[in-house]
């Protein structure tokens, strides 16, 4: 074999290797996950724990593993979850599981589909009406001069427009919506299947906190977009947060 043929074979081999590498690189680029909208998290489920009220998920995002909790839903490992709003709770104790999570995020708006979000200026900042589940094993000591949630709902017209004190566990929390923070609290009592109270406040709390709120009770409050509350506590001050 003469020298020119050897050179030609080497050149063809180099071109072939270059072609294969290029195809592999482009294939890898095309297989990348789509770019998420700003503020959106996309996680992959690697472990599922079901409880009475919540589904606890160990997830992975950008090679980071952590725990999130969502309202109970059927889900399996390998599924994807997308969300934009979550509140971190450190050293959260699940009595039902007998387990402490050093860090867990309670997700407010989980979805199994990625939906393109509107520009921030176009988004409606209104509290979304969601199904609130009853937390089990809640027992809260009523503060001095305070009332229970069952007492409030039983005699709501009596308390309308008045300042009342209620202590409860925060089961849902949405910060900075319409320039205020929104909390849902439960104290283990109920009246006519009403067991959850919505509270607006400028103070910061977290899911899992037990808090004493003192605020004004208003009835039939409508914030527009179809979101209305028969009973709500507003302008509340938070204290004795545990």
DSSP assignment letter at 63: T
**Structure confidence at residue 210 (pLDDT):** 94
Query: 231: domain CATH number?
Result: 2.40.50.140
Give the residue with greater pLDDT, 96 vs 123: 96
Residues 86 and 163 in one domain: no
CA separation for the pair 38, 154 (Å, rounded): 44
The last residue of one of the domains, among 97, 113, 129, is 113
| DSSP per position, 160-198 | TTSEEEEEEEEEEEEEEETTEEEEEEE-S--BTTB--EE
150-172 as b/e, with b when 16 or more CB fall inside 10 Å? bbbbbeeeebeeeebbbbbbbbb
Residues 109 and 174 in one domain: no
Residue 222 lies in a domain: yes
Residues 213 and 157 in one domain: yes
The last residue of one of the domains, among 91, 113, 135, is 113
Residues 213 and 161 in one domain: yes
Residues 167 and 93 in one domain: no
Give the residue with greater pLDDT, 180 vs 114: 180
Instruction: Give yes or no for residue 120 having a pLDDT over 70.
Output: no
CB 167 within 8 A of CB 151: no
Residue 131 lies in a domain: no
Residue 18 lies in a domain: no
57: exposed, middle or buried (C-beta count within 10 Å: 0-12, 13-18, 19+)?
Answer: buried
The last residue of one of the domains, among 113, 138, 173, is 113
pLDDT in tens, 217-230: 999 988 765 568 99
Residue 56 lies in a domain: yes
Cα three-residue angle 213-240-146, rounded to 5 degrees:
45
Total of domains in the chain: 2
Residues 158 and 98 in one domain: no
CA dihedral sign of residues 128, 191, 161, 171: negative
Taking residues 95-121, report their average pLDDT. 75
Residue 93 lies in a domain: yes
Residue 129 lies in a domain: no
Query: 56: domain CATH number?
Result: 2.40.50
**Structure confidence at residue 118 (pLDDT):** 42
Residues 231 and 156 in one domain: yes
Domain extent, residue 48, equals 41-113
pLDDT in tens, 47-93: 999 987 789 999 999 999 999 988 788 899 999 999 988 878 788 88
- On whether the pTM is more than 0.75, the answer is no
CA separation for the pair 170, 211 (Å, rounded): 7
Residue 103 lies in a domain: yes
pLDDT in tens, 197-221: 999 999 999 888 999 999 999 999 8
Write the CB contacts of 163 (distance below 8 Å, at least 6 apart in sequence).
214, 215, 216, 217
pLDDT in tens, 127-144: 445 667 888 778 899 999
């Amino acid at each position: 074999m003469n020298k020119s043929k050897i050179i030609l074979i080497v050149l063809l081999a180099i071109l072939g290797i270059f072609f294969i590498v290029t195809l592999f690189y482009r294939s890898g680029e095309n297989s990348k996950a789509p770019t998420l909208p700003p503020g959106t998290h996309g996680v992959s489920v690697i472990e599922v724990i079901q409880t009475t009220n919540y589904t606890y998920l160990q997830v992975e995002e950008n090679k980071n593993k952590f725990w999130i909790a969502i309202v109970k839903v059927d889900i399996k490992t390998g599924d994807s979850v997308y969300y934009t709003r979550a509140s971190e709770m450190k050293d959260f104790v699940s009595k039902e599981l007998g387990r402490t999570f050093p860090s867990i995020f309670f997700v407010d708006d989980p979805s199994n589909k990625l939906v393109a979000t509107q520009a921030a200026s176009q988004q409606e900042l209104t509290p979304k009406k969601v199904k609130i589940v009853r937390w089990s094993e809640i027992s809260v000591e009523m503060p001095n001069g305070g009332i229970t949630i069952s007492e409030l709902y039983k005699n709501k017209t009596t308390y309308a427009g008045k300042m009342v004190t209620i202590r409860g566990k925060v089961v849902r929390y949405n910060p900075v919506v319409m320039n205020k923070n929104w909390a849902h609290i439960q104290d283990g009592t109920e009246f006519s299947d009403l067991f959850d109270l919505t509270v607006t406040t400028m103070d910061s709390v977290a899911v899992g906190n037990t808090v004493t709120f003192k605020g004004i009770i208003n009835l039939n409050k409508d914030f527009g977009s179809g979101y209305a509350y028969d009973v709500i506590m507003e302008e509340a001050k938070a204290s004795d947060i545990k």
